[in-house]
Structure 1
Protein backbone atom coordinates (compact mmCIF):
# COMPACT_ATOMS: atom_id res chain seq x y z
CA UNK A 1 0.00 0.00 0.00
CA UNK A 2 1.32 3.49 -0.79
CA UNK A 3 1.38 6.44 1.52
CA UNK A 4 -1.82 8.06 0.22
CA UNK A 5 -2.81 9.03 3.76
CA UNK A 6 0.41 11.03 4.16
CA UNK A 7 -0.12 12.73 0.81
CA UNK A 8 -3.63 13.76 1.79
CA UNK A 9 -2.37 15.48 4.95
CA UNK A 10 0.42 17.46 3.34
CA UNK A 11 0.72 20.13 0.74
CA UNK A 12 3.69 20.97 -1.43
CA UNK A 13 5.60 23.81 0.18
CA UNK A 14 4.34 23.27 3.75
CA UNK A 15 7.85 23.49 5.13
CA UNK A 16 8.58 26.97 3.78
CA UNK A 17 6.95 29.85 5.71
CA UNK A 18 5.69 32.58 3.38
CA UNK A 19 7.85 35.68 3.32
CA UNK A 20 6.88 39.11 2.13
CA UNK A 21 8.47 40.26 -1.06
CA UNK A 22 10.43 43.49 -1.09
CA UNK A 23 9.94 45.85 -3.98
CA UNK A 24 13.07 47.86 -3.17
CA UNK A 25 16.15 45.62 -3.46
CA UNK A 26 18.67 48.38 -2.70
CA UNK A 27 19.20 47.36 0.93
CA UNK A 28 18.81 43.95 2.58
CA UNK A 29 15.80 43.66 4.85
CA UNK A 30 16.63 44.00 8.53
CA UNK A 31 14.35 42.45 11.12
CA UNK A 32 14.13 41.99 14.87
CA UNK A 33 12.61 39.04 16.75
CA UNK A 34 9.09 39.39 18.14
CA UNK A 35 9.04 41.42 21.35
CA UNK A 36 12.09 43.50 20.44
CA UNK A 37 11.66 47.13 19.51
CA UNK A 38 14.19 49.06 17.37
CA UNK A 39 15.74 52.14 18.99
CA UNK A 40 17.99 54.85 17.62
CA UNK A 41 18.94 56.16 14.22
CA UNK A 42 17.02 54.60 11.30
CA UNK A 43 14.94 52.52 13.72
CA UNK A 44 11.82 53.18 11.64
CA UNK A 45 13.29 51.13 8.78
CA UNK A 46 13.76 47.97 10.85
CA UNK A 47 10.98 45.37 10.61
CA UNK A 48 9.99 42.65 13.04
CA UNK A 49 9.88 38.87 12.69
CA UNK A 50 6.51 37.31 13.51
CA UNK A 51 6.09 34.01 15.35
CA UNK A 52 5.70 32.10 12.09
CA UNK A 53 8.96 33.50 10.72
CA UNK A 54 7.54 36.08 8.31
CA UNK A 55 9.01 39.56 8.28
CA UNK A 56 6.58 42.33 9.16
CA UNK A 57 7.50 45.56 7.43
CA UNK A 58 8.38 48.51 9.64
CA UNK A 59 5.45 50.59 8.39
CA UNK A 60 2.82 47.92 9.17
CA UNK A 61 0.85 48.75 12.32
CA UNK A 62 0.81 46.14 15.05
CA UNK A 63 -2.28 43.94 15.10
CA UNK A 64 -4.75 44.53 17.92
CA UNK A 65 -4.80 42.09 20.79
CA UNK A 66 -8.07 40.41 21.72
CA UNK A 67 -8.75 42.61 24.79
CA UNK A 68 -7.98 45.76 22.79
CA UNK A 69 -10.24 44.60 19.96
CA UNK A 70 -13.06 44.00 22.45
CA UNK A 71 -12.49 47.41 24.04
CA UNK A 72 -12.56 49.15 20.67
CA UNK A 73 -15.83 47.38 19.81
CA UNK A 74 -17.48 48.26 23.12
CA UNK A 75 -16.31 51.88 23.02
CA UNK A 76 -17.42 52.15 19.38
CA UNK A 77 -20.88 50.94 20.43
CA UNK A 78 -20.96 53.45 23.30
CA UNK A 79 -20.03 56.26 20.91
CA UNK A 80 -22.76 55.13 18.53
CA UNK A 81 -25.28 55.29 21.38
CA UNK A 82 -23.94 58.74 22.26
CA UNK A 83 -24.63 59.85 18.69
CA UNK A 84 -28.22 58.62 18.91
CA UNK A 85 -28.56 60.29 22.32
CA UNK A 86 -27.37 63.62 20.93
CA UNK A 87 -29.86 63.38 18.06
CA UNK A 88 -32.81 62.60 20.35
CA UNK A 89 -31.77 65.12 23.01
CA UNK A 90 -31.14 67.84 20.45
CA UNK A 91 -34.52 67.34 18.80
CA UNK A 92 -36.30 67.35 22.19
CA UNK A 93 -34.73 70.64 23.26
CA UNK A 94 -35.26 72.41 19.95
CA UNK A 95 -38.51 74.14 20.92
CA UNK A 96 -37.26 75.56 24.19
CA UNK A 97 -33.77 76.40 22.93
CA UNK A 98 -35.03 78.57 20.09
CA UNK A 99 -36.13 81.16 22.67
CA UNK A 100 -32.48 81.64 23.63
CA UNK A 101 -30.47 81.32 20.40
CA UNK A 102 -31.21 81.78 16.70
CA UNK A 103 -32.23 78.68 14.74
CA UNK A 104 -29.06 78.50 12.62
CA UNK A 105 -26.82 78.60 15.70
CA UNK A 106 -28.84 75.85 17.33
CA UNK A 107 -28.66 73.63 14.23
CA UNK A 108 -24.90 74.07 13.95
CA UNK A 109 -24.45 73.22 17.64
CA UNK A 110 -26.68 70.13 17.41
CA UNK A 111 -24.89 68.78 14.34
CA UNK A 112 -21.50 69.44 15.93
CA UNK A 113 -22.64 67.49 18.99
CA UNK A 114 -23.98 64.66 16.82
CA UNK A 115 -20.71 64.36 14.89
CA UNK A 116 -18.43 64.73 17.93
CA UNK A 117 -18.42 61.06 19.04
CA UNK A 118 -17.56 59.80 15.54
CA UNK A 119 -14.86 62.43 15.12
CA UNK A 120 -13.38 61.65 18.54
CA UNK A 121 -13.31 57.92 17.79
CA UNK A 122 -11.63 58.50 14.42
CA UNK A 123 -9.10 60.92 15.91
CA UNK A 124 -8.10 58.55 18.72
CA UNK A 125 -7.95 55.61 16.32
CA UNK A 126 -5.73 57.39 13.80
CA UNK A 127 -3.54 59.41 16.15
CA UNK A 128 -2.65 56.49 18.45
CA UNK A 129 -1.72 53.89 15.82
CA UNK A 130 1.93 53.81 16.80
CA UNK A 131 1.42 54.58 20.50
CA UNK A 132 1.29 52.07 23.34
CA UNK A 133 -2.10 50.49 23.96
CA UNK A 134 -2.74 52.38 27.20
CA UNK A 135 -2.63 55.71 25.32
CA UNK A 136 -5.45 54.55 23.04
CA UNK A 137 -7.45 53.30 26.04
CA UNK A 138 -7.04 56.63 27.85
CA UNK A 139 -8.10 58.52 24.72
CA UNK A 140 -11.26 56.43 24.35
CA UNK A 141 -12.16 56.72 28.06
CA UNK A 142 -11.63 60.49 28.11
CA UNK A 143 -13.89 60.80 25.07
CA UNK A 144 -16.55 58.63 26.69
CA UNK A 145 -16.48 60.90 29.76
CA UNK A 146 -16.55 64.18 27.82
CA UNK A 147 -19.13 63.37 25.16
CA UNK A 148 -22.04 62.21 27.34
CA UNK A 149 -25.30 63.40 25.69
CA UNK A 150 -26.55 65.50 28.63
CA UNK A 151 -29.80 66.66 26.98
CA UNK A 152 -30.84 63.03 26.60
CA UNK A 153 -29.60 62.02 30.05
CA UNK A 154 -31.40 64.88 31.80
CA UNK A 155 -34.71 64.80 29.92
CA UNK A 156 -34.90 61.28 28.49
CA UNK A 157 -36.96 60.39 25.45
CA UNK A 158 -40.16 62.20 26.47
CA UNK A 159 -38.53 65.56 27.21
CA UNK A 160 -38.96 67.90 30.15
Structure 2
Protein backbone atom coordinates (compact mmCIF):
# COMPACT_ATOMS: atom_id res chain seq x y z
CA UNK A 1 0.00 0.00 0.00
CA UNK A 2 1.42 3.39 -0.99
CA UNK A 3 1.61 6.32 1.35
CA UNK A 4 -1.15 8.90 0.93
CA UNK A 5 0.05 12.49 0.70
CA UNK A 6 -2.12 15.59 0.88
CA UNK A 7 -0.68 18.40 -1.26
CA UNK A 8 -2.22 21.79 -0.47
CA UNK A 9 -1.03 24.32 -3.06
CA UNK A 10 -2.93 27.17 -4.73
CA UNK A 11 -0.63 27.35 -7.78
CA UNK A 12 -2.36 24.81 -10.04
CA UNK A 13 0.64 24.34 -12.33
CA UNK A 14 3.03 23.66 -9.45
CA UNK A 15 0.44 21.42 -7.79
CA UNK A 16 0.10 19.37 -10.98
CA UNK A 17 3.89 19.03 -11.40
CA UNK A 18 4.43 17.96 -7.78
CA UNK A 19 1.42 15.63 -7.80
CA UNK A 20 2.42 13.87 -11.01
CA UNK A 21 6.04 13.52 -9.87
CA UNK A 22 5.01 12.03 -6.52
CA UNK A 23 2.55 9.66 -8.21
CA UNK A 24 5.31 8.44 -10.54
CA UNK A 25 7.39 7.83 -7.43
CA UNK A 26 4.63 5.57 -6.04
CA UNK A 27 2.72 7.92 -3.74
CA UNK A 28 -1.07 8.28 -3.62
CA UNK A 29 -1.65 12.06 -3.83
CA UNK A 30 -4.72 14.09 -2.87
CA UNK A 31 -4.65 17.77 -3.84
CA UNK A 32 -6.35 20.87 -2.47
CA UNK A 33 -6.19 24.48 -3.65
CA UNK A 34 -6.46 26.22 -0.28
CA UNK A 35 -6.30 25.57 3.45
CA UNK A 36 -10.05 25.11 3.91
CA UNK A 37 -10.20 22.40 1.24
CA UNK A 38 -7.00 20.87 2.62
CA UNK A 39 -8.47 20.67 6.13
CA UNK A 40 -11.67 19.08 4.78
CA UNK A 41 -9.73 16.46 2.82
CA UNK A 42 -7.46 15.72 5.79
CA UNK A 43 -10.41 15.10 8.11
CA UNK A 44 -12.34 13.13 5.51
CA UNK A 45 -9.66 10.87 4.04
CA UNK A 46 -6.75 10.81 6.49
CA UNK A 47 -3.24 10.97 5.12
CA UNK A 48 0.27 9.84 5.96
CA UNK A 49 1.89 13.23 5.24
CA UNK A 50 0.85 16.80 4.41
CA UNK A 51 2.71 19.19 2.11
CA UNK A 52 1.30 22.71 2.35
CA UNK A 53 2.02 26.07 0.83
CA UNK A 54 1.93 28.89 3.38
CA UNK A 55 0.42 31.73 1.35
CA UNK A 56 -2.98 30.61 0.07
CA UNK A 57 -6.43 32.15 -0.27
CA UNK A 58 -9.30 31.56 2.20
CA UNK A 59 -7.11 29.83 4.83
CA UNK A 60 -3.32 30.03 4.79
CA UNK A 61 -1.06 27.06 5.43
CA UNK A 62 -0.15 28.14 8.95
CA UNK A 63 -3.81 28.36 10.04
CA UNK A 64 -4.54 25.01 8.40
CA UNK A 65 -1.51 23.55 10.18
CA UNK A 66 -2.76 24.86 13.56
CA UNK A 67 -6.15 23.25 13.01
CA UNK A 68 -4.60 19.97 11.88
CA UNK A 69 -2.39 19.88 14.98
CA UNK A 70 -5.55 20.14 17.11
CA UNK A 71 -6.76 16.95 15.39
CA UNK A 72 -3.47 15.06 15.05
CA UNK A 73 -0.04 15.61 16.55
CA UNK A 74 1.43 12.72 14.58
CA UNK A 75 0.90 13.37 10.87
CA UNK A 76 4.10 14.82 9.34
CA UNK A 77 3.65 18.37 8.05
CA UNK A 78 6.04 19.92 5.51
CA UNK A 79 5.64 23.55 4.46
CA UNK A 80 6.59 24.62 0.93
CA UNK A 81 6.82 28.35 0.65
CA UNK A 82 8.43 31.39 -0.87
CA UNK A 83 8.30 32.98 2.60
CA UNK A 84 11.87 32.65 3.76
CA UNK A 85 12.14 35.15 6.60
CA UNK A 86 13.43 33.54 9.79
CA UNK A 87 10.26 34.64 11.64
CA UNK A 88 8.10 32.72 9.14
CA UNK A 89 10.25 29.62 9.48
CA UNK A 90 10.15 29.83 13.28
CA UNK A 91 6.35 30.28 13.23
CA UNK A 92 5.98 27.22 11.00
CA UNK A 93 8.05 25.02 13.30
CA UNK A 94 6.41 26.39 16.44
CA UNK A 95 2.94 25.46 15.22
CA UNK A 96 4.11 21.88 14.65
CA UNK A 97 5.74 21.63 11.23
CA UNK A 98 8.19 18.78 10.78
CA UNK A 99 10.05 20.36 7.87
CA UNK A 100 10.16 23.56 5.82
CA UNK A 101 11.30 23.76 2.18
CA UNK A 102 11.80 27.12 0.47
CA UNK A 103 10.65 27.75 -3.10
CA UNK A 104 12.17 27.30 -5.60
CA UNK A 105 13.28 23.77 -4.77
CA UNK A 106 14.44 20.66 -6.58
CA UNK A 107 11.90 17.83 -6.82
CA UNK A 108 14.53 15.31 -5.74
CA UNK A 109 15.06 17.23 -2.50
CA UNK A 110 11.30 17.25 -1.84
CA UNK A 111 11.07 13.49 -2.43
CA UNK A 112 14.05 12.77 -0.15
CA UNK A 113 12.51 14.91 2.61
CA UNK A 114 9.13 13.17 2.21
CA UNK A 115 10.70 9.73 2.48
CA UNK A 116 12.70 10.77 5.55
CA UNK A 117 9.59 12.17 7.27
CA UNK A 118 7.62 9.02 6.51
CA UNK A 119 10.41 6.77 7.86
CA UNK A 120 10.72 8.87 11.01
CA UNK A 121 6.95 8.83 11.55
CA UNK A 122 6.79 5.01 11.24
CA UNK A 123 9.54 4.64 13.86
CA UNK A 124 7.81 7.12 16.17
CA UNK A 125 4.41 5.45 15.76
CA UNK A 126 5.89 2.11 16.82
CA UNK A 127 6.54 3.76 20.19
CA UNK A 128 3.24 5.65 20.49
CA UNK A 129 0.17 4.31 22.21
CA UNK A 130 -3.20 6.02 22.57
CA UNK A 131 -5.96 5.63 25.09
CA UNK A 132 -8.80 8.13 25.09
CA UNK A 133 -7.33 11.60 24.60
CA UNK A 134 -3.98 10.52 26.01
CA UNK A 135 -0.92 9.57 23.98
CA UNK A 136 2.04 7.72 25.46
CA UNK A 137 5.36 8.16 23.67
CA UNK A 138 7.52 5.33 24.95
CA UNK A 139 10.67 6.79 23.35
CA UNK A 140 10.44 10.04 25.31
CA UNK A 141 8.58 8.55 28.31
CA UNK A 142 6.00 11.32 27.90
CA UNK A 143 2.24 11.08 28.45
CA UNK A 144 0.40 13.82 26.51
CA UNK A 145 -3.10 15.21 26.61
CA UNK A 146 -4.25 18.02 24.27
CA UNK A 147 -5.72 20.11 27.11
CA UNK A 148 -3.69 18.99 30.12
CA UNK A 149 -0.21 19.06 28.55
CA UNK A 150 2.62 16.59 29.09
CA UNK A 151 3.61 14.43 32.02
CA UNK A 152 7.14 13.02 32.14
CA UNK A 153 7.15 9.39 33.32
CA UNK A 154 9.91 7.19 34.68
CA UNK A 155 10.94 4.27 32.48
CA UNK A 156 9.08 1.80 34.72
CA UNK A 157 5.93 3.97 34.71
CA UNK A 158 6.03 4.28 30.91
CA UNK A 159 6.52 0.53 30.38
CA UNK A 160 3.77 -0.32 32.85
CA UNK A 161 1.36 2.13 31.24
CA UNK A 162 2.18 0.69 27.79
CA UNK A 163 1.31 -2.81 29.01
CA UNK A 164 -1.98 -1.56 30.45
CA UNK A 165 -2.87 0.26 27.20
CA UNK A 166 -1.98 -2.71 24.99
CA UNK A 167 -4.01 -5.06 27.19
CA UNK A 168 -7.14 -2.97 27.75
CA UNK A 169 -9.93 -5.26 28.90
CA UNK A 170 -7.55 -7.99 30.05
CA UNK A 171 -6.02 -8.73 33.42
CA UNK A 172 -2.38 -7.68 33.59
Q: TM-score range by the shorter chain?
A: under 0.3
- Structure of larger gyration radius: 1
TM-score, length-normalised on structure 1?
Answer: 0.28
Q: Quick check: which one's strand share is greater?
A: 2
Q: Quick check: which one's helix share is greater?
A: 1
TM-score, length-normalised on structure 2?
Answer: 0.26
